[in-house]
A and B are shown apart, each in its own frame.
Chain A
């Protein structure tokens, strides 16, 4: 079966999670050589140039926003929430796959998570960083966000209203960002020690040495480390499920047709994982090609991620059908009008059908093993999903707001160029952070890759002392 298109031979067998012939040394050398080198791949500069250019656009857009206010955006009455909240929900959703991979798959003992968890966690952090921009700037007056968002004793003696899901969101997202950062850093400590010991340049050695906190691989440290890591995974699992649930409450707790639905929490969580896995595949494909990591991110990983994308995608589609069903079954004329307006005779019906194409029709290709194993098809489907999940939030937010209960308050929404510059600017920020990360930190967890080797699991001697 060596002639198979499948790189590991027989395509019907599960591919290994690590290529054959690897040892602790070869894994360490390969992954350290990605960072501890002066030889940066040309592709890195291309991505960095592209990302950083877009990021500069974000700076211009935000500076102009702070100078002029949100009048530069297309937001109006009644579409008071538009690109700002669409982008926020989209980015937060993308982040979810990282925590799912690092925490939930760890609890389920899925060893294939090991080679993708590190950069997926980094992706989570950077996606949350992009998301956090929007709640802070969406009023155009970011310096006021402090007392709107955070409960702190201020000179006005006013406090946020904790009966509102918007303040729950502040707690959910800030907890999520902080815990993800902690989880990521704890995971990095042993690898930073490896880099400290492998670095040749004394300044580089010193920097990794400080960050590694003096980690020396002591058995007692490892025991506490694994204990704490497992607890963190156990704590992150309900956290990640709560975050998008709370984000969905921003909508579900309101009384607007199209938002006020009990399906929202599970539907949003599934959508978040769907979007996140698509983004992990989108990132994994160029990274493994650029750094020659095909032995570590094998077809097994890509295929498993494609399967998760397919399943969560079907849950999302179930959400779409539920929304339509609720619209009809409620027998409420506003709910029925909303569905009819969203899907058929409204001016934004095109966005609904494009959404179904991206999130429903195209991902069905993942039923076929040949498609899951073809890199170009994987990449293309995931790009469709990335766009589709953005459109989903556009459909939910704009089509529900633009025609509400009173026809006299109806208004069309048109984004301006500043809306688009801000959206693409955050993509630039994300790319900039991601490629800086792969340049200076291990993008695959080196010590966890070592544990995949058979010799890393020695037999306990007979009559051991415990």
Chain B
């Protein structure tokens, strides 16, 4: 059905398979240098510098988590202020309704609670998960990416993508094999 949409070549991209973390990392640096912007690498464990080699610079999580923590602190303190001063003021041993010292431990806990869940859920959301289907799973050998194999994909929508040139470029990076990933 490719005759209706020339922009989509009918496949997702090219996938190169590597034997080790070292060859994958070296290849990723070459891919980054060659100017490809829509490339991703896949490995069974985190490899330091790999995402950066492919041009990844996103550090938004820290800021979002800070906002989550501040929201948690405001929620915790606000809840206590509302319940103890406005909604249900109780005179207990003559203590002030606004006993801010007593409000510190719950405020601390809600800060941690909100910040932690922000960290976890932001990571999942920014990664676009849950995503049960993804074209890379169409490659039978890709199941090794969660065990002991290493992969690098250049997407067909990359402006520098050219099926033959990109294939020979990837093959030159000590790839074990290069295959087309179906859409």
Contacts and interface: CB of A to CB of B under 8 A. Distances in A.
B42 A219 contact: yes
Contacts of B65: 231
A221 to B, nearest CB: 5
Contacts of B146: 190, 193-194, 196-198, 215-217
B42 A447 contact: no
B112 A239 contact: yes
B25 A24 contact: no
Contacts of A220: 40, 51, 54, 56, 58, 127
A25 B147 contact: yes
A28 B50 CA distance: 22
A101 B98 CA distance: 38
B44 A231 contact: no
B111 to A, nearest CB: 9
Interface stretch (A119-127, A334-342, A451-459): A451-459
Interface string B113-150: 10111011011101101111110110000111111100
A153 to B, nearest CB: 9
Given A231-B65, A459-B22, A209 B116 contact: no
B168 interface: no
Contacts of B43: 217, 219, 222
A35 B49 CA distance: 33
B115 to A, nearest CB: 5
A160 B83 contact: yes
A433 to B, nearest CB: 22
A28 B148 contact: yes
Interface stretch (A164-172, A266-274, A412-420): A164-172
User: Which bucket holds chain B's interface residue count?
Assistant: 35 or more
B21 A162 contact: no
B160 to A, nearest CB: 15
Contacts of B45: 24, 190, 222, 447-448, 450-451, 456
A219 B105 contact: no
Contacts of B61: 224, 227-228, 231
A227 B123 contact: yes
B95 interface: yes
Contacts of A209: 132
A466 B112 contact: no
Given A167-B106, A239-B112, 19 more contacts: A161-B92, A162-B83, A163-B99, A163-B102, A165-B105, A178-B116, A178-B117, A197-B145, A213-B124, A217-B44, A219-B47, A219-B54, A220-B54, A231-B61, A231-B65, A236-B116, A450-B148, A465-B33, A465-B55
19 contacts: A24-B148, A151-B79, A161-B84, A163-B84, A172-B109, A182-B117, A214-B130, A214-B133, A216-B42, A217-B145, A222-B47, A227-B62, A232-B119, A242-B108, A249-B105, A447-B44, A448-B45, A459-B22, A465-B33
